Structure 1
Amino acid sequence: MSKQYSIFLEKAAEALDIPPSKYKQAVSRYEAVGTWLESGEYNGQIEGVCIYPQGSFRLGTVIRPYKDHKDQDYDIDLVCELGAAVTSSDAEETKHLVGNRLKEHERYRQMLDKEGKRCWTLNYAEQDGVGFHMDVLPSVLSPTGVSQTTISITSKIDDGYEWCSSDPKGYAEWFKHRNRVAFERDALRQKRSISLNFQDTYASIEDVPDLLVRTPLQRAIQLLKRHRDVRFSDRANWKCAPISMIITTIAVHLYQNESDVLQALQNIILSLDAHIPLLHGREVSANFSNQKIIHRLPDGTWYIGNPVNPDENFADRWHEDGNARAKAFFQWVEMLKEDFVSAAKSGDAVFKKKMEGLFDNAIANKYLPNSTPKVVPPPVRNVSISAAPKPWRNS
């Protein structure tokens, strides 16, 4: 039955994903924004502007956010990289150069949200019940970065602005490298299917972009993020829910090129479950010591490193408030184990009930067996009567 469960999970993740037609629409929109930003004069202060996607949209792990018990608009993250160095740029000025350029466009000015901590957000109206939030991140090249793709991004703080280091290009290349074997195995089959099912959008297999291919790793990450969104939606500690960067980084490290979504998901969960002893000051379970991704340091702090910049610690706040974020993470791991591992071993009825609480019921009803067991009639007994009894005695 695990094969049927895996098919269901594939379909559940597909329903959360951005459809190919909407993907093409999103690309068209961010390219238009990019063209507008690239053509700006910026008071002669900037030479060259580069626009590119980052985050889940670029990694192929995008899902519709879930909030207030319903799906929200897709988030599309863009980097606006200005041709200047940090040494010659001011964070506040850089942030507003991009914001002011967006405000010069009549339509974008109407769509522009109030200034965010790091981004400028354009809100696109819904079409067919699906809308977009496009977050534009102002940045400049970092002359002292650990790689040639390191950038400095602007961040608004209480008393002004500051620079923060980031490397979305480097991270995307790391992800692509770790996902390469599975991508090469699955790409042709999936592109053929997309071309067949979306002929009005992509006329041939060659027209289907690589970023629409989804490996078991990408599907597992989508399912993990959805599970987090749903399970923390009503919890008091929802602000401590695991961030997507941690979920993605850990999943990539633990993925072993499984060809089956359920198997990939369960292996990731069991590896994370082996890290729970860290919360109590003990070591990772011996069978998983070679998969140690989360580290508890002698001073009680936690470390989950950025794979392209080890100096950046994604878990730098896990020790705060009595390890609140660490506790929330491992509570989530226990919920994952119950929902995807234990339930899968408990039979169709239990698994289906768990999945109906996480994903679209229509998909569960279509791809999972009915929870009501089939009634099997008892076997019919063959009765042989050699002679009928006589109602009288022979005289």
Structure 2
Amino acid sequence: MQRLTGPIRPYDWGSHEVIARVQGRDFPTAEPEAELWLGAHPADPATVDGRGLDAVIAGDPDAELGATVVRRFGAKLPFLLKLLAAQRPLSLQVHPNLAQAAAGFEAEEAAGVPVDAPQRRYKDANHKPEMLVAVGRTQALAGFADDATVFLRKLQWPPGLGWADRLEAGDLHGVVSDILRGAPDFDDLADLCAAEGSARALAIADLAARYPGDPGVLVAMLLNHVELSPGDAIYLAAGSPHAYLRGAGVEIMAASDNVLRGGLTSKFVDVDELLRILAFEPGPPPVVTPVSAGPSTVRWPTPTAEFTLYEITVGGSPVALPAVGSPRVLFCLEGEVRAADLSLRGGESAWSPASDPELTARGTGRLFVATVGG
């Protein structure tokens, strides 16, 4: 096992406090700090002894990942772990499934669209299912809501009442398409939402004030509003529209950087492609309940093969680290935890290759362990 050093992405929606506080650095920071990346994605790999984790893995894939993982996913780490810290809303976005990502990437490569071009939609050929486990109070929009008609009728906003009728007739696709292609004026929406007063309405009021004229605000009215306490989690499958509004969480995903945006942003929005990728399947909030995975250990089950996430509460007796024989990224959220001959404090991480022997954690703290799915 070796110490892992992850880069911090300074997106403008990031916090000036959260990541620095976890890592024990001075804050507020000069730049926003949005995501701490702990993985081998070529866009920004973490490092081991100054070498990119992607290069370390490429040097001996079977030892680093294990032969089974190499056969399933190739000679690359199939997941990416992040610490995400949002001070203000992220863009409304959706991620493609595996077939859509592969086809989209191939088409844009053939067309010669540079990977860093603003209009580039597919940065790689992988899908990006993801899960976020809150480590502070977090608000998000996640998936089309099955009670959107109830919310729209409570607001009594005239365009929304018309949408409610169409939603009840099963025309979710048509409503979203009309919003994205020609959103009505909504200068009065923030006041109506503030008067309604629910957490969901207040979130829409805030978005309306931040993004005047952005059709993403109106799409947000059709989504589940989710409030997460520490330890709560949401899982976002391919095609599920979502946006983190504020808060912090440990996020794990298939190793991809594919994002199609639908609003709440000044960045490129491709309405036709977005409508093709979106899954128009209303449902309840996609909350994931943790299950016991051994002494002092929980995991959040998902249907994704690329990743599994565990949390270990270390204190008193040593705790065996799960998933021996698989590649693992360890991330200490707080306290001080020792495994093998390495001590991890809050905000520090480690790489444990598949060739590592069975390991135990000692000390006092909270340790996340990311590995490949079962």
TM-score, with length taken from structure 1: 0.23
- Which structure's CA Rg is the greater one? 1
TM-score, with length taken from structure 2: 0.23
Higher strand share: 2
